[in-house]
């Protein structure tokens, strides 16, 4: 699940983001290596335990999210996409993959519980109702917020509504997929539109001078300043893409 707000701090700079010490950063990196190894091992075991399935797909347009930059009144009728894998020759679900972009923030900034937000409620409810494994693929939902308030009750209400929509697709609008399923993966380097070097130096210097040293902004500016001095400031970022056909 991408952008899930409750996963390990992989791919981030733990010092910039959280102000962690080198020893704490080492713990995260060690866990990251262990975690990746666990995923690879699970995939390896699954490959040697494959069973025939029939694959179905379906979509439905929902109005459960909105573009937060444009404002609450700007509705987004986004498509919920579902892949259903059924045991061959039956209509029994083996696994369901569901994708709907909506930022997992319903629990709110004041929440101090371990909680998977509306995604977790959605998956838990759907698994109970289908008896199947359900996997989320949230996709690019970074600026799409759920159309709800904060708190546990809203989280439950929103997640169950998503599960209802998913179940409606599974029961009423699935299309069988035939032939071979192919996938392609690529990374495209996106160039950064950076100001000139003098402007960057002035910006970093200003942030360092006027920001609190305990903030991510200050730590970011100091790290980027050192990268400029060493000539390692990145000029592009990788954009990963995967396509299933």
pLDDT 10s digits, 119-136:
899 999 999 999 999 998
| pLDDT band, residue 243 (cuts 50/70/90) | confident
Q: What is the rounded CA–CA span in Å between residue 100 and residue 62?
A: 9
Q: What is the rounded CA–CA span in Å between residue 242 and residue 236?
A: 20
pLDDT on residue 1: 38
- Give CA separation, 65 vs 79, 141, 148, 226, in Å: 11, 9, 9, 40
| pLDDT band, residue 207 (cuts 50/70/90) | very high
pLDDT tens-place string over residues 38-80: 999 999 999 999 989 999 999 988 777 777 776 555 555 578 8
Among 27-36, 62-71, 143-152, 178-187, the range scoring the smallest mean pLDDT is 62-71
pLDDT tens-place string over residues 10-48: 767 888 988 889 998 899 889 989 999 999 999 999 999
- Give CA separation, 100 vs 17, 67, 83, 162, 212, in Å: 27, 14, 12, 9, 38
- Mean of pLDDT over the chain: 86
| pLDDT band, residue 2 (cuts 50/70/90) | very low
The answer on pLDDT for 139 being more than 90 is: no
Is 56 within 8 Å of 94 (Cβ atoms)? no
182: helix, coil or strand?
coil
């Amino acid at each position: 699940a991408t952008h899930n707000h409750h996963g390990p701090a992989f791919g981030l700079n733990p010092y910039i983001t959280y102000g962690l010490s080198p020893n704490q950063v080492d713990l995260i990196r060690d866990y990251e290596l262990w975690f990746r190894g666990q995923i690879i091992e699970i995939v390896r075991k699954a490959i040697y335990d494959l069973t025939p399935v029939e694959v179905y797909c379906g979509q439905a347009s929902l109005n459960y999210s909105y573009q937060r930059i444009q404002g609450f009144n700007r509705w987004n009728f986004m498509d919920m996409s579902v892949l259903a894998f059924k045991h061959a020759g039956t209509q029994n679900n083996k696994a369901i993959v569901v994708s709907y972009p909506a930022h997992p923030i319903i629990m709110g900034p004041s929440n101090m519980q371990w909680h998977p937000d509306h995604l977790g409620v959605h998956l838990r409810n759907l698994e109970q109702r289908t008896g199947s494994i359900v996997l989320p693929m949230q996709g690019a939902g970074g600026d799409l917020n759920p159309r709800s308030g904060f708190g546990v009750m809203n989280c439950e209400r929103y997640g169950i509504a998503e599960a209802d929509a998913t179940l409606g697709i599974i029961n009423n609008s699935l299309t069988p997929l035939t032939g071979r399923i192919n996938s392609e993966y690529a990374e495209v380097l996106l160039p950064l539109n950076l100001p000139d070097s003098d402007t960057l130096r002035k910006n970093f210097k200003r942030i360092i001078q006027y920001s609190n040293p305990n903030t991510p902004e200050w730590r970011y500016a100091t790290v980027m300043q050192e990268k400029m001095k060493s000539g390692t400031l990145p000029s592009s970022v990788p954009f990963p893409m995967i396509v299933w056909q």
